[in-house]
């Protein structure tokens, strides 16, 4: 509800109002964490967990409201990270810092959150953060979205997998997958990947190069398509020939190489424009390629866009939960899983396959 009213609030009161809201949401996060502490002392662990997750969500709202370059953003991220470490153990959230090793290359650390279910072998998702977003920040944002879904998550930062000129990101991400496969609590046939923001392109390349992925939230190859169009030669060729069939083949070339269900998130902070994503989905539908489309709710304030990450994350992880729960979509049987084209809303109800989308 706050996000729905945000555009009018900021338009009416300006940047000062926005900063006031950032401060207020930080205070809400602090208050929720104090409540979690109190409930732990009272042995009311369910209420403590709820308060803790609400606190993490409040901190993320505050971080997005803070202006770019505002030191408050780093301070808020530090608060979220500190509260993850503080409340994880007493609330039985066994968040692990794990070392990912890759052949002879230097390894890196990631966060691992087990499913916490009675299922001894649960699905897992490799989550790759956006640029300039630490793994801890992404984990704090995703914890409320993955709670209770019966899936494990391995959270890695964008810089750890894309900031090394000597190693391809796909190789490092395959090492993440190798790590998950060796865990006794992970079902190797039900591992997905999610690339946030610019990392959506990394998730696409990774899924193309490693056919063990059972479901992917990625850009469907549209970032490579956009870079191709940025070339003067390609732009001239397409403009002169007016070859929409040729453009269609190029646009869907990458996604046709993906052998698992795909969700493309378009608009907002995504690399993908909504119009190109809609074209891609229509073309893939005609070829019986399993691709869905999610368009997050975007709040436009002056020249800036703020996405409603709460509803967006609910949709994304609801989709992953549904796709990874289908036995027919297990590793090695992805080609049998073809769903109809869907324009996903950002509500969990739209993920019910028995309801029209």
Handedness of CA 88, 317, 338, 355 (dihedral sign): positive
Strand 186-195 vs strand 96-102: parallel, antiparallel, or unpaired? unpaired
Residues 326, 340: Cα–Cα separation, whole Å: 15
Q: Which CATH architecture has domain 96-351?
A: 3-Layer(aba) Sandwich (3.40)
**Per-domain boundaries in the chain:** 2-87, 96-351
Looking at residue 356, its pLDDT comes to: 38
Residue 231 DSSP SS3: coil
pLDDT of 16 reads 72
Q: What is the model's pLDDT at position 49?
A: 95
Q: For the chain, how many residues are written?
A: 357
Average pLDDT by stretches of 10, the chain with 357 residues: 69 68 94 97 95 96 84 90 92 90 81 81 95 91 93 95 85 94 94 94 93 94 74 52 60 81 85 83 83 83 74 94 74 38 36 39
Tokens of 83: 């509260």
User: What is the pTM assigned to this prediction?
Assistant: 0.85
Q: At which residue do the structure tokens 């709670």 appear?
A: 147
Q: How far apart are the first and last CA of the chain?
A: 22
- β-strand 343-344 against 291-294: which pairing, if any? parallel
For 287-310, the DSSP string reads TT--EEEE---EEEETTEEEE-HH
Helix (H) or strand (E) holding 264: strand 262-265
Grouping H, G, I as helix, E, B as strand and the rest as coil, residue 301 is: strand
């Amino acid at each position: 509800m706050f996000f729905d009213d945000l555009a009018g609030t900021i338009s009416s009161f300006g940047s000062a109002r926005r900063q006031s809201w950032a401060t207020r949401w930080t205070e809400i996060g602090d208050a929720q964490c104090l409540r979690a502490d109190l409930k732990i002392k009272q042995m009311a662990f369910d209420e403590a967990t709820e308060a803790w997750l609400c606190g993490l969500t409040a901190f993320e709202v505050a971080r997005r409201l803070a202006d770019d370059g505002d030191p408050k953003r780093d301070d808020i991220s530090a608060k979220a990270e500190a509260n993850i470490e503080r409340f994880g153990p007493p609330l039985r959230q066994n968040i692990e810092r794990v070392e990912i090793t890759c052949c002879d290359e230097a390894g890196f650390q990631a966060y691992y959150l087990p499913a916490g279910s009675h299922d001894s072998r649960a699905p897992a998702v490799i989550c790759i953060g956006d640029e300039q977003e630490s793994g801890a920040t992404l984990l704090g944002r995703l914890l409320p979205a993955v709670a209770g879904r019966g899936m494990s998550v391995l959270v890695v930062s964008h810089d750890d997998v894309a900031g090394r000129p000597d190693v391809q990101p796909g190789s490092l991400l395959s090492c993440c997958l190798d790590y998950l496969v060796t865990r006794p609590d992970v079902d190797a046939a039900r591992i997905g990947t999610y690339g946030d923001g610019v990392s959506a392109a990394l998730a696409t390349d990774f899924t193309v190069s490693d056919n063990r992925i059972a479901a992917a939230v990625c850009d469907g190859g549209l970032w490579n398509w956009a870079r191709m169009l940025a070339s003067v030669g390609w732009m001239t060729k397409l403009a002169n020939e007016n070859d929409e069939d040729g453009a269609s083949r190029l646009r869907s070339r990458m996604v046709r190489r993906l052998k698992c269900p795909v969700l493309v998130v378009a608009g907002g902070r995504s690399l993908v424009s909504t119009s190109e994503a809609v074209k891609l989905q229509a073309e893939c539908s005609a070829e019986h390629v399993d691709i869905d489309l999610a368009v997050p709710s975007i709040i436009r304030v002056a020249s800036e866009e703020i996405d409603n990450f709460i509803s967006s994350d609910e949709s994304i992880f609801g989709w992953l939960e549904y796709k990874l729960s289908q036995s027919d979509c297990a590793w090695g049987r992805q080609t049998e899983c073809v769903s109809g084209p869907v324009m996903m809303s950002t509500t969990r109800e739209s993920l019910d396959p028995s309801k029209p989308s």
